[in-house]
Chain A
Amino acid sequence: MSILGTRVVRTEDPRLLTAGGTYVDDLRVPELAQAARVTFVRSPIAHAEIAGMDVTAARQAPGVVAVLTAADMDDLPPPPDSGLTGTEGLPLPLGGQWSEPLLAADRVRFVGEPVAIVITDDRYAGEDAAELVSVDYNQLPAVVGVDGALAAESLLFPPAGSNVAVSTGAPADSAAFDGCEVVVEETIVNQRLAPVPLEGRATAARWADGKLTVWVSTQNAQIARFILAGAMGLDPASIRVVAPDVGGGFGAKVGIDRDALIVAWAAKHTGRALRWAETRSENMLAMTHGRAQRHGVKIGGTRDGRILAYRLEIVQDTGAYSRMGGFLPFLTSLMAAGPYDIGHVETAYQVVVTNATPISAYRGAGRPEATAAIERAVDLFAAEIGMDPAQVRRINLVPADKFPFTSPCGATYDTGDYVGALDKVLAGGGYAELRAEQARRRERGDVLQLGIGVASYVEITAADADGGETARLVVHDDGTATVYTGSSAHGQGHHTAWAMLVEAELGIEMAKVTVIHGDTDLIPAGVGTYASRSLQLGGVAVQKAAVEVKDQARRVAAEMLEASDADLELDVDRGVWQVRGDPAASRTWAQVAAHAGGAGLAADVNYTDGKPTFPFGTHLAVTEVDTETGKARLIRHVTVDDAGTVLNPVLAEGQRHGGIAQGVAQALLEEVVYDTDGNPITGTLVDYAIITAAELPSFELLTSETPATINPLGAKGIGEAGTIGATPATQNSVIDAVSHLGIRHIDMPLTPARVWAAISEARESR
């Protein structure tokens, strides 16, 4: 029986559990033995011109090696211009007048923006010396939030003449709403979040013998090298990027960001090996944030529950600079129609700059926003026509016989059984009994009211499938194998999954398979881990490499056994080659590899034939809301997340758990908040409410596997399902708990204060 699809515990874990991982700040390699520490000096003001800077006192402080500012950056090429000016909607920073500098030279645009660095041998001395850097700021009016940006009373980039960096124009056609019996509109905030991987950003760098080595906590070593080469004006071949263990990324460690580029430059500029591991306070200010969209939704249909038209207008706050933020609303628009068969869907978006931390990907990256918008809209529509929200979904979900289904937004959903997922969750959760319990509590007027929230979704994974992924597989003459993968893991379990693929294909047991990733000297080409792309691209690449190696080995073994290729078979259970029907005369992988000669048994694959896949599911969240305090508590969470054929249920479940927690956290707790001057007031983990074990129940995961047909593993992505489904299910649930009071919508996060205020307002108006 194949190992694929079975519950295999991770090979990564014994090391992580006994010695701990080797994250960037843990590196004790000889090249970094004399490394000095970098401390950043960051803007304390959201928007200001830099009138002057005095680093004299800092340079003279004890233990200071160097203090560097933008004035020292005269050995860099001009910033690489992406050529994008604001209309293309690609996942690259905007160039031209919207460009982002490295160290700020004449203007700062968010609290936390780097203006100087201090290099010291001792970590504590750096903190002291950074305090001595004196910057003369001429404060400018801060642009806070999307309304502030659109008001345009203050401009971040005056030459642009506007704070709107990207705009699609207004929706083209609104006539579809004319034929609707019921039309509901709402403005919905999808709030700004901090990704908060437990390991913040960290970088070490060394320039020696004409080669730059950069160790960085990244999801993509090869992309990091590409960006470094452009920023530093170096040939990629003269750069080595190493991603050691990475302590979580969640999209915020895609590529390499500005602060890490500054550290790499400083190592080359000073000739000193350097290391930097940010503090959490720095991380909250200067690692990219996510979400930060405002939605205008309009939904219309018939009184018997058929949705006929839907409009989504998005204003994306991309923060001070448009990194990936300019791209996110494109993905939101692509997935705006959700899992429904709606005749008319129209979208439009604007991307605005504000004096806040730049926005980039955060687990889901544009898709949770799309789902949150339409799942709230469906509940608003259901409430307006007085129909059960689950029934409205059942009526409108794309039926199983319509796949592949091309949505009005242009996405072609490959395979699915959306109604099946809904019904499974409703049955598994005991939906009818939950509604009955809710009715009893309402009847009694209980303080603790029950909320039942449903959210159905479809998402896109490996949206950039044509970027492909690489794998190199080598079988050695001791019978072991090594996989070199471009898909760099940071907790997903690639070592386990890739070794399972090799064992399944070649019969080389997992314990003999080594998986290597995240070193551009060993793996020059690759893409990495984001967008739930790894298994369906990187995994397929490994499998294809194994098939190639198997073909090579078949020819070698045939020669050894003096038989024809066609008569040779691989006994996967025993991991040996034999002539069909003659197991007595067999050759081991070690023997075949030793006999192979030449290049040995090795295959290089760059798999670019993949296409995006569309996982789907339904989440059911059950909350209890204290109507006296407004406190909402999630008491059950039941889900179907169908990501095609599952390679290892242990890993897939882990991905779902983590995503659900982050989704619930957005719905109930988390929000990055700025005051009216653009000062962050959620700059530590005391102020920013990361969800804890005490605020969550155990989750109830149901299984459903509708294979993808585009790739040989049948796999779709699972990494982001949790945030996509759980966020609106939880939000809908809390609102449902108080809907009998006449409440139709409350924005996230649904904190006690917000829920209590909504209850109070509803009671006063009755």
Chain B
Amino acid sequence: MKVTVTVNGSEVAAEVADRTLLVHFLRDVAGLTATNVGCDTSSCGACTVLLDGRSVKSCTVLAAQADGRAVTTVEGLSGGADELHPVQRAFRAEHGLQCGFCTPGMVMASVSLLAENPSPTEDEVRSALEGNLCRCTGYHNIVRAVLAAASERRPR
């Protein structure tokens, strides 16, 4: 079937098998490999992207379900390595990543969290990120990064 998705602002159209997962569409068709696959049970959140502004696990969404909609991946979050989004900047400043594999999904989940709750408590951050697994950081610095990003965005 033909699927057309606006990915990071650009239209990507392709003929794909019906069963194509959104994450494979992003990686193999759109050529955007930052979004990773870390499990096959929707448990780990490494594949988290924004679909029409809300976070989804792209391993659990068919490309067909994204037809005509807009997807944002971590590649589309900022203008590049020299121009980080506040959440990306906070992850770097707080050492919220090590191997980097969970990071694109973790960043997108954090962006989504802050869009829904701009001033979360530590407990709210921990609870909101329960669906995103990280094996390197023990979450300590990820939580600090999200809180720091929230505090940076808050009007003073």
Contact = CB atoms under 8 A, between A and B. Distances in A.
Contact of B88 (A17, A196, A660): A17
B83 to A, nearest CB: 8
A18 B100 contact: no
B126 A694 contact: yes
Interface residues of A, number: 58
Contact of A684 (B33, B41, B134): B41
6 contacts: A16-B97, A18-B74, A20-B104, A199-B38, A491-B99, A693-B143
A364 to B, nearest CB: 14
B91 A660 contact: no
Given A279-B40, A685-B41, A9 B93 contact: yes
Nearest to A13: B92
Interface string B30-57: 0101111111110110100000000000
Size class of the contact patch on chain B: 35 or more
Complex A-B, nearest 8 residue pairs according to Cβ-Cβ distance, in ascending order: A20-B34, A247-B101, A661-B138, A491-B99, A491-B98, A16-B100, A685-B43, A657-B138
B154 interface: no
B2 interface: no
A694 B127 contact: yes
Contacts of A766: none
Contacts of B80: 18
Contacts of B81: 14-15, 17-19
Nearest to B146: A693
B103 A123 contact: no
Contacts, number: 186
Interface of B: 17, 19, 24, 27, 31, 33-41, 43-44, 46, 74-75, 77-78, 80-82, 84, 88, 91-93, 95, 97-104, 107, 122, 125-127, 129-144
Contacts of A19: 34, 75, 81
Given A10-B92, A248-B99, 10 more contacts: A13-B100, A18-B88, A22-B33, A199-B38, A245-B100, A280-B40, A491-B100, A658-B137, A661-B137, A698-B144
Interface in A670-705: 684-686, 690, 692-694, 696, 698-699
Interface in A228-285: 245-248, 250, 277, 279-281
A101 interface: no
Among B38, B100, B137, chain A packs the most CB atoms within 10 A around the CB of B100
B104 to A, nearest CB: 5
Interface of A: 9-10, 12-23, 25-26, 28, 123-124, 196-200, 245-248, 250, 277, 279-281, 490-493, 650-651, 653-654, 657-662, 684-686, 690, 692-694, 696, 698-699, 722
A659 B138 contact: yes
Nearest to B46: A198
Contact of A199 (B40, B95, B101): B101
A250 B19 CA distance: 34
Nearest to A245: B100
B29 to A, nearest CB: 13
A123 B130 contact: no
Among A246, A490, A491, chain B packs the most CB atoms within 10 A around the CB of A491
A693 B126 contact: yes
Contacts of A722: 138
A684 B40 contact: yes
Contacts of A197: 99, 101, 135
If over half of B's interface residues share one DSSP class (helix, strand or loop), that class is named, otherwise mixed; here it is: loop
Contacts of A492: 98
B55 to A, nearest CB: 15
Among A9, A14, A15, A279, chain B packs the most CB atoms within 10 A around the CB of A14
B100 A20 contact: yes
Contact of B36 (A10, A198, A686): A198
Nearest to B43: A685
Among A660, A696, A722, chain B packs the most CB atoms within 10 A around the CB of A696
Nearest to B73: A20
A10 B103 CA distance: 14
Among B19, B36, B39, B133, chain A packs the most CB atoms within 10 A around the CB of B39
A49 to B, nearest CB: 30
Contacts of B144: 698
B135 A196 contact: yes
A722 B137 CA distance: 11
B95 to A, nearest CB: 5
Contacts of B138: 657-662, 696, 699, 722
A693 B136 CA distance: 12
B135 A690 contact: yes
Nearest to A7: B95
Contacts of A493: 98
B36 to A, nearest CB: 7
A492 to B, nearest CB: 7
Contacts of A650: 95
Contact of A198 (B17, B24, B38, B139): B38
Contacts of A247: 36, 99-101
Nearest to A11: B92
Contacts of A657: 137-141
A393 B95 CA distance: 34
A691 to B, nearest CB: 8
Given A28-B31, A199-B99, A250-B135, A280 B75 contact: no
A199 B82 contact: no
Nearest to B134: A198
Contacts of A660: 138
Contacts of A653: 95, 141
Given A26-B33, A491-B136, A692 B130 contact: yes
B136 A685 contact: no
B99 A198 contact: yes
Contacts of A16: 97, 100, 103
Given A13-B92, A19-B81, A661 B40 contact: no
Contacts of B103: 16-17, 20
Contact of A280 (B41, B74, B97): B41
Contacts of A694: 126-127, 129-130
A658 B127 contact: no
B133 A690 contact: yes
A23 B36 CA distance: 9
B88 A685 contact: no
Nearest to A659: B138
